[in-house]
């Protein structure tokens, strides 16, 4: 996939990085006379596919790469944290400080090469300590030779939003969401986030639940910056499973009283880049750019994946940062099953929480990706849990409804279910959230965790009861009336997305 996105240096980094940068002399060239690095150590830092691509490029041609620096923030786990706002502020502060200090050493080089025309754009990140840079092969080689650079990878990435097949079956009662609603826990006070194709803000089941404001929508490509937008429909489907209401006569969302925000990581052509996704994860941690405000989401759903099975840790540092801030990253497991060993990244990353798919009769969804996880020890169970992913009714672009299947639909059951739990138990650490989700299941398949169903199929009421039995008391709340009727007609339109998650 071609390199699609970067933030212009003059609009982002130049203000701080290039102030006072030396200006190229009249004799200065626009490309550097540096070959690709001869050092084996420097060569090893460059992704093999990128290295081959650089070797065939013209000296003055430029490509966008992701540079990861050696030093990374020493994040403190939120496992023992009881105040998520404090955890998030401490995490963001640590990440920002590490990036500011470590990146200062490379800024003069980038400024000089920019002045010479060998660099055209840079985007600095603090969600991990690194940056994207659009530069010539010689500059990339020069960066690889630096001892403070850990790795250089291409910005192009081959991911897809999760896809969906047409069928129609009920789902919310299977995971026991209504008992929590009856007890007054339907997501009130909780903000969920989605990294997807966007959201149709005009849908009657979603419009009133948007948090609103400039800190509640992020378009990584800048194509639709003003308000939530979905050119595809996929993000509208997944958001509906999380927080959709009952405007059509039927409850469609797990946490209908929660608020939502969203980051659009696919452009109008359904393509993405590493830069776009890093930018979105970074935005989640501090949506308004002010670490002192508590505007980060409580839950984030990711119904997307790499195109093929295997282990890819491109976003593992981002996921570690989210967890340190008290946010459990929920991912669709992928639709590469039924063979064993078909786990997908980032769902199989150590810091992700992977969700496979089941039918409403508790059979494994045929295409649900199977474990063991490709990342980590060979015995690592994958997925973490399963949830309904066949015949799920949800909101569709344009104000209608559709029925769809895939692990893309399973994951937001868990994300929305977690939002409902957090409305009852707002101070749960990430470790407690994970434990509740692993324990609040119906064990399916072989006894105990397995590489088809994970720990089992989500049972939200059981997760609630496990927390209470563990000595964690729910906060005082009032009952919320939720319409649980199911009389909305099916939309038989075929959903053509390929669900790769």
- DSSP codes, 357-391: EE-TTSPBPTTS--SS-SSS-TT--S-SEEEE-SS
- Domain assignment present for residue 269? The answer is no
pLDDT attached to residue 387: 98
Tell me, yes or no, whether 226 and 135 share the same domain.
no
- 363: confidence class by pLDDT, cuts 50, 70, 90: very high
- Given CA atoms 435, 440, 443, 447 in this order, what sign does their dihedral have? positive
- Domain assignment present for residue 392? The answer is yes
Tell me, yes or no, whether 330 and 455 share the same domain.
yes
- Domain assignment present for residue 5? The answer is no
pLDDT attached to residue 43: 87
Tell me, yes or no, whether 131 and 178 share the same domain.
no
- 185: confidence class by pLDDT, cuts 50, 70, 90: very high
Tell me, yes or no, whether 171 and 116 share the same domain.
no
And the tokens for 423?
Answer: 């409305």
pLDDT tens profile 275-291:
999 999 999 999 999 99
Of 122, 154, 186, the residue at which a domain comes to its end is 154
Of 154, 172, 193, the residue at which a domain comes to its end is 154
> Which tops the pLDDT comparison, 271 or 5?
271
CATH code (residue 330): 3.40.50.200
pLDDT attached to residue 5: 31
- Domain assignment present for residue 408? The answer is yes
Tell me, yes or no, whether 114 and 235 share the same domain.
no
Q: Which of 44-48, 81-85, 292-296 has the lowest mean pLDDT?
A: 81-85
pLDDT attached to residue 498: 30
Tell me, yes or no, whether 396 and 432 share the same domain.
yes
Which H or E element spans position 205?
Answer: none
Tell me, yes or no, whether 255 and 353 share the same domain.
yes
- Domain assignment present for residue 2? The answer is no
Tell me, yes or no, whether 214 and 251 share the same domain.
yes
Tell me, yes or no, whether 302 and 218 share the same domain.
yes
Tell me, yes or no, whether 199 and 228 share the same domain.
yes
Tell me, yes or no, whether 74 and 109 share the same domain.
yes
For residues 306 and 344, is the Cβ–Cβ distance under 8 A? yes
- Given CA atoms 453, 458, 464, 465 in this order, what sign does their dihedral have? negative
- Domain assignment present for residue 149? The answer is yes
Q: What is the pTM of this model?
A: 0.84
Of 100, 126, 154, the residue at which a domain comes to its end is 154
How far is Cα 396 from Cα 234, in angstroms, rounded to an integer? 8
Domain that holds residue 207: 162-259+296-306+321-441+451-469
Give the Å distances, CA to CA, from 5 to 8, 63, 222: 9, 11, 9
In the chain, the largest separation of any two C-alpha atoms, in whole Å, equals 76
- 76: confidence class by pLDDT, cuts 50, 70, 90: low
Alpha helix (H) ranges present in 382-491?
407-424, 430-439, 460-469
Tell me, yes or no, whether 116 and 238 share the same domain.
no
* Termini Cα distance of the chain: 18
**How many separate domains does the chain show?**
2
How far is Cα 276 from Cα 296, in angstroms, rounded to an integer? 18
Round the CA-based radius of gyration of the chain to a whole number and report it: 23
- Domain assignment present for residue 135? The answer is yes
- Domain assignment present for residue 311? The answer is no
pLDDT attached to residue 161: 67
187 CA to centre of own chain: 20
């Amino acid at each position: 996939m071609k390199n699609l996105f970067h933030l212009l240096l003059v609009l982002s980094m130049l203000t701080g990085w290039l102030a006072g940068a030396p200006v190229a002399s009249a004799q200065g060239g626009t490309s550097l006379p540096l070959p690709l690095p001869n050092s084996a150590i420097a060569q090893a830092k460059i992704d093999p596919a990128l290295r081959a691509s650089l070797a065939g490029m013209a000296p003055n041609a430029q490509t966008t790469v992701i540079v990861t620096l050696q030093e990374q923030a020493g994040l403190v786990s939120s496992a023992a944290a009881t105040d998520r706002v404090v955890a998030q502020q401490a995490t963001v502060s640590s990440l920002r400080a590490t990036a500011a200090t470590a990146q200062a050493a490379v800024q003069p080089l980038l400024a000089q090469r920019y002045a010479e025309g060998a660099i055209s754009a840079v985007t600095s990140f603090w969600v991990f300590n690194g940056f994207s840079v659009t530069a010539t092969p010689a500059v990339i080689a020069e960066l690889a030779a630096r001892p403070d650079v850990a790795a250089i990878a291409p910005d192009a990435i081959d991911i897809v939003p999760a896809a969906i097949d047409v069928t129609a079956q009920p789902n919310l009662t299977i995971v026991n969401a209504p008992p929590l609603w009856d007890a007054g826990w339907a997501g009130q006070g909780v903000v969920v986030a989605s990294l997807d194709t966007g959201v149709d803000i005009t849908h009657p089941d979603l419009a009133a639940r948007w948090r609103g404001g400039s800190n509640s929508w992020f378009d990584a490509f800048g194509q639709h910056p003003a308000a939530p937008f979905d050119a595809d429909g996929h993000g509208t489907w997944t958001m509906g499973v999380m927080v959709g209401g009952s405007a059509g006569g039927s409850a469609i969302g797990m946490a209908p009283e929660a608020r939502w925000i969203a980051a659009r990581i696919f452009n109008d052509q359904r393509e993405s880049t590493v830069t776009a996704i890093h930018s979105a994860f970074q935005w989640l941690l501090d949506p308004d750019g002010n670490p002192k405000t508590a505007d980060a989401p409580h839950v984030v759903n990711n119904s997307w994946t790499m195109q093929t099975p295997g282990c890819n840790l491109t976003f593992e540092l981002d996921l570690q940062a989210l967890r340190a801030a008290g946010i459990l990253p929920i991912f669709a497991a992928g639709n590469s099953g039924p063979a064993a060993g078909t786990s997908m990244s980032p769902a199989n990353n150590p810091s992700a929480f992977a969700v496979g798919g089941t039918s409403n009769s508790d059979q494994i969804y045929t295409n649900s990706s199977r474990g063991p996880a490709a990342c980590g020890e060979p015995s690592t169970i994958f997925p973490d849990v399963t949830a309904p992913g066949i015949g799920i009714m949800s909101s569709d672009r344009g104000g209608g409804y559709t029925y769809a299947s895939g692990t893309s639909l399973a994951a937001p059951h868990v994300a929305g279910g977690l939002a409902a739990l957090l409305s009852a138990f707002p101070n749960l650490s990430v470790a407690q959230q994970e434990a509740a989700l692993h324990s609040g299941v119906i064990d399916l398949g072989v006894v105990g965790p397995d590489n088809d169903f994970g720990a089992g199929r989500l049972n939200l009421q059981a997760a609630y009861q496990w927390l209470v039995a563990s000595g964690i008391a729910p906060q005082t709340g009032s009952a919320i009336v939720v319409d649980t009727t199911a009389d909305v007609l099916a939309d038989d339109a075929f959903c053509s997305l390929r669900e790769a998650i």
